[in-house]
Amino acid sequence: MKQVNVGLLGFGTIGTGVVKVLQEKKEQLAQVIGTELNLKWVCDIDLTRARAVKMSKKLLTNDANQVLTDPEVDIIIELIGGIHPALEYILTALQNKKHVVTANKALLAEHGKEIFSTAAKVNKSVYFEGSVGGGIPIINAINVGLAANRINSVFGILNGTTNYILTRMAQEGADYQTVLKDAQQLGFAEADPTLDVSGMDAAHKLVILASLAFQTPIELKEVLVEGITEITASDIQYAREFGYVIKLLAIGKRTEQGIEVRVHPTMLPKDNLLTSVNGVYNAILVEGDTVGTTLFYGRGAGMMPTASAVISDVITLSKQILCSRVNEKCNIPSTMNFSLPIGKKHIPIKPIPRLTSKYYLRFSALDQPGVLAAISGILSRYKISISAVIQKGRKAKDVVPIVMMTHEAMEASIQQALVEIDKLPVIKRKSILIRVED
């Protein structure tokens, strides 16, 4: 049977992993698909850099157009990352009647609508298993494995960099800046770590995951995003004293008032399944009405885990291509109903001020009589009930951390109370809140 031709755009770390799998597992892939998978092009603007794979120079090009316009290419794999020119290349690939595989979460989260509506118009598929959870086959699990379910919630540790930093802070009692610097030296954090530590990378992934899980379009601007930069070693220590572990969690939850989508540092009870997910690992807890609770765990990034996910998409598409070659009418419906722009009801997103949660609050206050009374007076006016308080010895001259746990409260009330508390002359720094998930 005629081979399936693949063109790769982006010969970086993941691209190299993809080439490696295509070369080393050629026979296995041919057996699974039913025909040979042929890597026809590898395109990158820099072809001089040394890579961990060897290949014929005839495959290499730095002209993406050569790949995108080659009539023999069936599948374009986009591993350039970023928005431009990846977006333009994907749209051109689709217009040129090619299927697309991408691991580009930022692009899908920000331009998913445009990409998937173009794909629908030209009747081609865009698959994206590598975009969330690296090697964990979570997209396929939600789309196929859990298709018999109404999914009620997804809780994910979706960013390896921040999980690594929080894990080391917890294990060593070290502060954020020290661990970040070390993580950068060890290659676990980018030179510019903003996307990861701000929570935005996890938010991109949550947009994709929650759109699929709840079968509704979700926009990035609807997600509450908070990063880990304000978390201190002492927050982690206090959390431990209260019986909790702090994780950067991506949360998607179906509630009667709409869908909650949020990424923020979260205190989880120490016996929660996700608290033992350490280092660069990712995990996603999915709760469906039929299956109950399921947990997916694995390497959320890196050359070979992400290549594993990308190749799984290439296999699915190749089978689809073979099927349509045999029978023109064979039109396997895309299992990846991601953007859902057409004919789907938009489930409302719950406004952030209406969230309810228990909260951990840390105040930096002068060590004076009446401070606790002033803080608790404001909290009580906003009907926020305190469940526990810790105040220990002085750490800085005259300024002490006062830590409180609240009972269930409304986000709007907490935010307003904190604004008032931070105006008290005895409060010396911006107060910190961490939401608690029981």
Window 375 to 404, contacts with ligand HSE (CB under 6 A): none
Residue carrying the six token digits 């890579």? 51
- Record the tokens describing residue 241, joined without a space: 């004293």
| 160 is an interface residue for ligand HSE by CB under 6 A | yes
- The Cα 45–Cα 82 span in angstroms is 14
Write down the least CB distance from residue 245 to ligand HSE, Å. Answer: 19
- The Cα 438–Cα 272 span in angstroms is 9
Which residues, at least 6 apart from 102, have a Cβ–Cβ distance to it below 8 Å?
A: 77, 78, 79, 86, 90, 108, 126, 127, 128, 130, 131
Which residues, at least 6 apart from 160, have a Cβ–Cβ distance to it below 8 Å?
A: 134, 188, 279, 280, 281, 282, 299, 300, 301
Residue 184: Cβ-neighbour burial (10 angstroms; 0-12, 13-18, 19+): middle
Contact range with ligand HSE by CB under 6 A, out of 51-59, 153-161, 269-277, 413-421: 153-161
Interface residue with ligand HSE among 161, 318, 334, 431 (CB under 6 A) is 161
CA dihedral 43, 12, 228, 175 (to 10 degrees): -160
- CA triple 137-141-147, angle to 5 deg: 165
Residue carrying the six token digits 């419906």? 333
> Smaller CB distance to ligand HSE: residue 15 or 160?
160
Write down the least CB distance from residue 300 to ligand HSE, Å. Answer: 5
> Smaller CB distance to ligand HSE: residue 203 or 268?
203
- Record the tokens describing residue 317, joined without a space: 């598409």
- The Cα 241–Cα 17 span in angstroms is 43
Size of the residue set binding ligand HSE (CB under 6 A): 7
Amino acid sitting at position 149: N
| 260 is an interface residue for ligand HSE by CB under 6 A | no
> Smaller CB distance to ligand HSE: residue 192 or 328?
192
Write down the least CB distance from residue 94 to ligand HSE, Å. Answer: 23
Write down the least CB distance from residue 332 to ligand HSE, Å. Answer: 28
> Smaller CB distance to ligand HSE: residue 279 or 348?
279
| 159 is an interface residue for ligand HSE by CB under 6 A | yes
Angle of helix 26-33 versus helix 303-326 axis, rounded to 10: 40
Write down the least CB distance from residue 157 to ligand HSE, Å. Answer: 9
Window 319 to 378, contacts with ligand HSE (CB under 6 A): none
Window 85 to 124, contacts with ligand HSE (CB under 6 A): none
Contact range with ligand HSE by CB under 6 A, out of 159-167, 170-178, 225-233, 262-270: 159-167
The mark string for 234-253 relative to ligand HSE (x by CB under 6 A, - otherwise) is: --------------------
| 309 is an interface residue for ligand HSE by CB under 6 A | no
Which residues, at least 6 apart from 195, have a Cβ–Cβ distance to it below 8 Å?
A: 106, 201
Q: Where are the alpha helices (DSSP H) in 277-335?
A: 303-326
- Record the tokens describing residue 85, joined without a space: 């020119």
> Smaller CB distance to ligand HSE: residue 196 or 411?
196
| 180 is an interface residue for ligand HSE by CB under 6 A | no
Residues labelled catalytic: 205
Write down the least CB distance from residue 198 to ligand HSE, Å. Answer: 12
> Smaller CB distance to ligand HSE: residue 227 or 300?
300
Q: How far is CA 23 from CA 56, 77, 319, 417, in A?
A: 12, 15, 19, 60
Q: Provide the 10 A C-beta neighbour count for residue 43.
A: 24
The mark string for 190-209 relative to ligand HSE (x by CB under 6 A, - otherwise) is: ------x----x--------
> Smaller CB distance to ligand HSE: residue 302 or 341?
302
| 140 is an interface residue for ligand HSE by CB under 6 A | no
Which residues, at least 6 apart from 420, have a Cβ–Cβ distance to it below 8 Å?
A: 378
Interface residue with ligand HSE among 109, 203, 301, 336 (CB under 6 A) is 301
> Smaller CB distance to ligand HSE: residue 160 or 401?
160
Contact range with ligand HSE by CB under 6 A, out of 63-71, 154-162, 335-343, 388-396: 154-162
| 300 is an interface residue for ligand HSE by CB under 6 A | yes
Binding site for ligand HSE (CB under 6 A): 159-161, 196, 201, 300-301
